[in-house]
Structure 1
Amino acid sequence: MRILNRWRDETGDVPGWVLITLMTAGLVVLLWGLAGPALSGVFEQAINRVAGF
């Protein structure tokens, strides 16, 4: 019965969700920092090829 009451409690695990959100944001910033220049170069090459036609 205690398990059912715990499942019905909709408050959730706020600190856990905050931690997951912060870690996800950190990973996005890290990946963006590493892959940003490479993706920018690929985009510029594609635009130059299209503009060359």
Structure 2
Amino acid sequence: MSIFRSHRHDERGDVPGWVMITVMSAGLVAIITAAAGPQLRSILNQALSAVGG
């Protein structure tokens, strides 16, 4: 029974590490979106108007 418990504990992984990576990734996306949002929106609008018109 102790073999199963130790194996089960090993499957848990590094949860705090994954949480930190996820939070940092979300923060980077938010920063990049805030900084480059207007430029990206302009590029998208130009591309859509070129295709549609």
Normalising by structure 2, report the TM-score: 0.68
- After superposition, what is the alpha-carbon deviation per residue over 1:11-53, rounded to whole angstroms, capped at 9, x for unaligned? 101111100100000000001111110011112222333444x
Q: Which amino acid aligns with 1:21?
A: T
Q: Which amino acid aligns with 1:15?
A: P
Structure 2: runs of 5+ lacking an equivalent: 1-5
Counterpart mapping for 1:6-45 below 5 A: 9-45=10-46
CA distance in 1, matches of 2:51, 2:25: 35
What is the root-mean-square deviation in Å for CA atoms of aligned residues? 2.1
CA distance in 2, matches of 1:9, 1:46: 49
Normalising by structure 1, report the TM-score: 0.68
Q: Which amino acid aligns with 1:43?
A: L
CA distance in 2, matches of 1:31, 1:48: 24
Q: Which amino acid aligns with 1:29?
A: A
